Structures are given as C-alpha cells and as structure tokens.
Amino acid sequence: MLTDTLIEDDRWAALDFATLAETAAQAALTHLALDADDWEIAVLACDDSRIAELNTEFRDKPTPTNVLSWPSEERGAEADGDTPHPPQGPDTELGDIAIAFETCEREAEAAGKPMAEHVTHLVVHGVLHLLGYDHIRDKDATLMEGLETAILGKMGFSDPYES
C-alpha cells in the first residue's frame, strides 16, 4: 500500500477517503513512471481547525488551507520549469500530506464539482509537491498544472484549471 491514511474527521468516511487517496497517489506515481510499491506516503484527513494549526506551525500562516505537504527531502528543480530530481532510495518515505474537509467542501461547491473529484485533484497536487513540483515560479506552475491535468484526465476527471 502506497498511502498510510489517518482519518481525524469522520466526515471523510462518506468519500471512502483512504481508497480515494490511494488511487490518486498511485495514479500520480504511475504517470511519472515511479513504482508505487517502492514508496510510502502518510496522509492526514483532518478538519480546518487542525490544518490551520499545521499551517501556523509550519508556514506561519494562521489560517486553514486545502492541502499541505511535507516532502521527506528537497527534490525541486533549480531552474524554473525544469523537472524536479527523482526520488532515490533506500529511504522509501516520500513525505506527508494533510487535507482539510471544510475547505475542500467549500472549494468543490464553489467550483460546481463533486467533492471526490476535487479531493482527488488535491491529493494528486500534494503528491506532486512531495516529488518536488511546485507552482511558485511561472514555468514550474505550468509544468505542475499540466501534470495534474494529464493525471486527472487519465482518471476520467476534467481539467481542474479550466474555467
């Protein structure tokens, strides 16, 4: 199993979140030609209050957010738009992801998308962060968004960046 999921908020059960997270993470790694059996990701399914605590502690931003990620090592590319450094063994830990129920629910509703589709996107997004992808610089954002769109498309979901 690629993901080890801890559910702190029971509302996630309606989405079968553990299966959703596993499927999304597997799809991201498969798309990037990484063997999911070689890696581990810890996923925390929490609420806005808990993610606000984490956002304060790790990013000094005392507000809730949709998803946070903590890569086990720095893999980001030096040049804007370059592919990040691939993960190397023998450590199998890619990192940790936390996702907040209320924020995801609000965003899905605002976008007119099913909650499961939006959450799948955010798990893929978080996994890409663990692999060194980012969206701060313009070319990096274009690369990351293109990957998200391709991965989700293979899963049967629409482009999350389409207006």
Query: Residue 159: helix, strand or coil by DSSP?
Result: coil
Q: Which residues pair with 46 in a beta bridge?
A: 100
| Neighbour tally for 37: CB within 10 Å | 11
Q: Are 36 and 25 in contact (CB under 8 A)?
A: yes
135 annotated as a binding-site residue: yes
Quickly list H helices, the chain: 17-31, 48-59, 101-111, 115-130, 138-154
Contacts of 82 (CB under 8 A, 6+ apart): none
Tokens 């023998």, located at residue? 90
Question: Which residues are annotated as part of the binding site?
Answer: 125, 129, 135
Annotated binding site for Zn(2+): 125, 129, 135
